[in-house]
Amino acid sequence: MPPPPALFRSLLAPADWSQLAPAVQRMHADGEVLEASGQAQVRGASHAFARGLRRLLTLPEPGDAQAIALTIERHASHERWTRRFARGRMHSTLRRGNDAHLRERLGPVTLHFSLRRESDAIDWQLRRASLLGLPLPRGLFGTVFSRSGANEGRYTFDIDVHLPLLGRLVSYHGWLEIEHVR
Q: Is the pTM of this model over 0.95?
A: no
pLDDT in tens, 82-119: 999 998 899 999 999 988 899 999 999 999 999 999 99
Contact (Cβ atoms closer than 8 angstroms) between residue 3 and residue 34: no
Half-sphere exposure of 67 (CA within 13 A, CB side): 3
The pLDDT of residue 1 is above 80: no
Looking at 19-173, list the stretches that DSSP marks H as alpha helix, in order from N- to C-terminal side: 22-27, 48-56
The pLDDT of residue 5 is above 90: no
For residues 123 and 150, give the distance between their C-alpha atoms in angstroms, rounded to a whole number.
12
Measured from the Cβ of residue 107, the count of other Cβ atoms closer than 10 Å reads 15
The pLDDT of residue 31 is above 90: no
Domains of the chain: 7-177 (2.40.128)
* Cα-trace Rg, the chain: 16
| pLDDT at site 4 | 64
Q: pLDDT band for position 3 (50/70/90)?
A: low
pLDDT in tens, 144-168: 999 999 999 999 999 999 999 999 9
| pLDDT at site 140 | 85
Mean pLDDT, the chain, rounded, equals 94
Beta bridge partners of residue 161, listed in sequence order: 144, 170
Q: pLDDT band for position 30 (50/70/90)?
A: confident
